Structure 1
Amino acid sequence: MPARRTKGGRPTSTKPSLRVERDLQRQGFRVLAGMDEVGRGALAGPVSVGVVVVDETVRSAPQGVRDSKLMTAAAREQIVPRLRRWAVASAVGHASAAEIDEIGIMAALRLAGCRALAALDVVPDLVILDGNHDWLTAPEEVGLFAELSEGPATPPVTTMIKADLACSSVAAASVLAKVERDTQMVALAQEHPQYGWAENKGYSASAHMDALAAHGPCVLHRRSWSLPGVGHDDQVPAPDPEQVSS
Structure 2
Amino acid sequence: MRGQATLFDLAPSGPSYEPEQKIGGIVCGVDEAGRGPLAGPVIAAAVVLDANNIPAGLNDSKKLSPKRREQLYHAIKETAQVGIGQASVEEIDQMNILRATLLAMRRAVENLPCVPGHALIDGTHAPDLICPASCLVKGDSRSFSIAAASIIAKVERDFLMKNLAQKHPEYGWERNSGYGTRQHLEALKLVGPSRFHRKSFAPICNLMTQNSYITD
TM-score above 0.5, yes or no: yes
Q: How does 1:42-81 map to 2 (within 5 A)?
A: 42-54=37-49, 58-59=51-52, 61-81=54-74
Q: Name the structure 2 match of 1:170.
A: 146
Asked if structure 2 preserves the Cα contact closer than 8 Å seen for 1:17 and 1:60, the reply is: no
Structure 2 gap segments, 5+ residues each: 211-216
Rounded Cα–Cα distance in structure 1 between residues aligned with 2:209 and 2:52: 53
TM-aligned CA deviation for residue 64 of structure 1: 1.7
* Greater helix proportion: 2
2:159 counterpart letter in structure 1: T
Deviation string 1:73-112 (CA, Å, 9 cap, x unpaired) is 111111212112222x112111111111112112211221
Measure, in 2, the Cα distance between the counterparts of 1:12 and 1:104: 30
- Whether contact under 8 Å (2:83, 2:113) holds in the other structure is no
* CA RMSD across the alignment: 1.9
TM-score, normalised on structure 2? 0.90
Equivalences for 1:1-246 in 2 at 5 Å? 4-9=4-9, 11-14=11-14, 16-25=15-24, 30-54=25-49, 58-59=51-52, 61-87=54-80, 89-134=81-126, 136-137=127-128, 153-228=129-204, 229-231=207-209
Say if 1:93 and 1:112, in contact at 8 Å, map to a contact too.
yes
Deviation at 1:128, TM superposition (A): 0.3
* Other structure's SS at 2:5 match: coil
- Number of the residue aligned with 2:214: none
| Equivalent AA in structure 2 for residue 62 of structure 1 | P
Cα offset, 1:10, TM superposition: 5.5
Residue equivalent to 1:243: none
Report deviation, 1:169: 0.3
> 1:82 and 1:96, CA in 2 relative to 1: closer, same or farther beyond 3 A?
same
TM-score by length of 1: 0.79
Q: Which residue number in structure 2 is paired with residue 236 of structure 1?
A: none
Point out where structure 1 has 5 or more consecutive residues left out of the alignment: 138-152, 233-246
Q: Which amino acid aligns with 2:65?
A: T
- Residue correspondences, number: 208
When structure 1 is superposed on structure 2, of 78-87 and 3-12 the one drifting more is 3-12
Q: Is the 8 A contact 1:38 1:174 kept in 2?
A: yes
- Would the aligned equivalents of 1:33 and 1:53 in 2 still touch at CA under 8 Å? yes
> Equivalents in 2 of 1:9, 1:40: separation in Å?
26
The question of whether the paired residues in 1 share the 8 Å contact of 2:45 and 2:109 is answered with no
* SS of match in other structure, 1:186: helix
- Tell me the distance in 1 between the aligned counterparts of 2:44 and 2:95: 17
